[in-house]
Amino acid sequence: MKPKENTHEYSLSNDGVVSQNRRKQYRYSVPTEVFDFIEMTAQEVLAQQQALLE
């Protein structure tokens, strides 16, 4: 599984958080800053979706 293609799916299915296991799995190919950005973006999207449902 290629990290750049699927990492966002992991965070969306985990309440906007990339698991520590995924971070460890891809630590040599994906910089920490990228994981942080994915989490931040995923959490923003999830918050917007939740706001629309309320």
> 0.85 exceeded by the pTM?
no
Tell me, what's the pLDDT at 32?
95
Q: What's the rounded Cα separation, in Å, for the pair 44 and 38?
A: 10
Q: What's the rounded Cα separation, in Å, for the pair 27 and 24?
A: 5
Q: What's the rounded Cα separation, in Å, for the pair 1 and 27?
A: 14
pLDDT tens digits, one per residue of 1-51: 455 566 556 666 788 888 898 889 889 998 999 999 989 998 999 999 999
Q: What's the rounded Cα separation, in Å, for the pair 35 and 32?
A: 5
Tell me, what's the pLDDT at 16?
86
- Cβ-based neighbour number of residue 22 at 10 Å: 19
